[in-house]
């Protein structure tokens, strides 16, 4: 193969590869790299370890490493996907999940709201995620308190909050010293951008990313946080 053919082949591969948004943060233990995969799915890499969060088969996992740790937030199919989990799970993978998920995902390590677990240099804390007012019918909620987990993930002094499907509940608003937050927003299941912005003002992360947002108007979220000192970063989770 001549040089021109090689260049064309490399260009074709580059064009075919997914353009996943990637963010890197410095910590005292080295860099933490966060890759947006799709909707609520992401990958976090640090210290040679890989964490996948809510792997979903609608995401493109081609070329991504398998997980040392998997975090699952809830039982809904865009968070607990039996088709996606085998693609990122290996024999040594530790799956951390609430009890409701562990009923389906065999071998999962159960973490209840408020509990913490240390896995290597990762510290993982389960944060309540739930609806207070939105549900499919009167007297019913899309997400009941205690069923699912948001997570605060700490590595090298960096504190990352992944909200899971929730409204701006008291436990979120009470969070402290969050460096990076991923806040869900979409109706009718979680909350609209303006409510997410009000919640962000309460716990004031240094950096916040909207995720799980589908057709939400992210400009509303961004404008509501203008002037607060919170770094709002809009990324494409549906590439």
pLDDT at residue 212, as a whole number:
97
Residue 1 lies in a domain: no
Report the CATH number at residue 56: 3.60.15.10
* DSSP notation for the chain: --HHHHHHHHHHHHHHS----EEEE--TT--EEEEEEETTEEEEEETTEEEEES--TTS--TTPPPPSEEE---SSTTTS-TTTHHHH--TTPEEEE-HHHHTTSTTPEE--TT-EEEETTEEEEEEEE--SS--SSTT--SS-TTTEEEEEEEETTEEEEE--S--S-HHHHT--S-SEEEEE--TTTS--HHHHHHHHHHH--SEEEEES-TT--HHHHHHHTTTSS-EE----S--
pLDDT at residue 18, as a whole number:
56
Query: Which parts of the chain register pLDDT below 70?
Result: 1-18
pLDDT at residue 19, as a whole number:
82
Chain segment 110-154, per-residue pLDDT in tens: 999 999 999 999 999 999 999 999 999 999 999 999 999 999 999
Residue 44 lies in a domain: yes
Residue 2 lies in a domain: no
pLDDT at residue 216, as a whole number:
97
Count of domains forming the chain: 1
Residue 10 lies in a domain: no
Residue 13 lies in a domain: no
Note down the domain range covering 228.
Answer: 20-232
């Amino acid at each position: 193969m001549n040089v021109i053919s090689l260049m064309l082949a490399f260009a074709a591969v580059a064009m075919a590869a997914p353009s996943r948004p990637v963010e890197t943060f410095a910590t005292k233990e080295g860099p933490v790299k966060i890759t947006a995969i799709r909707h609520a799915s992401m990958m976090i890499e640090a210290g040679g370890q890989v964490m996948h969060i809510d792997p979903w088969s609608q995401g493109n996992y081609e070329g991504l490493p398998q997980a040392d740790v998997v975090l699952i937030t809830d039982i809904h199919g865009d968070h607990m996907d039996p088709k996606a989990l085998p693609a990122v799970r290996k024999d040594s993978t530790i799956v951390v999940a609430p009890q409701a998920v562990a009923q389906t995902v065999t071998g999962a390590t159960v973490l209840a709201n408020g509990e913490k677990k240390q896995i290597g240099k990762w510290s993982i804390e389960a944060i309540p995620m739930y609806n207070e007012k939105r549900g499919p019918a009167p007297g019913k909620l899309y997400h009941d308190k205690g069923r699912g987990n948001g997570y605060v993930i700490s590595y090298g002094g960096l504190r990352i909050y992944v909200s899971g499907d929730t409204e701006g509940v008291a436990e979120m608003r009470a969070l402290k010293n969050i460096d990076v937050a991923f806040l869900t927003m979409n109706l009718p299941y979680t909350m609209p951008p303006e409510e997410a912005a009000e919640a962000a003002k309460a716990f004031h992360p240094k950096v916040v990313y909207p995720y799980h947002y589908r057709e939400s108007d992210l400009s509303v979220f961004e404008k509501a946080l203008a002037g607060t000192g919170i770094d709002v970063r809009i990324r494409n989770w549906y590439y």
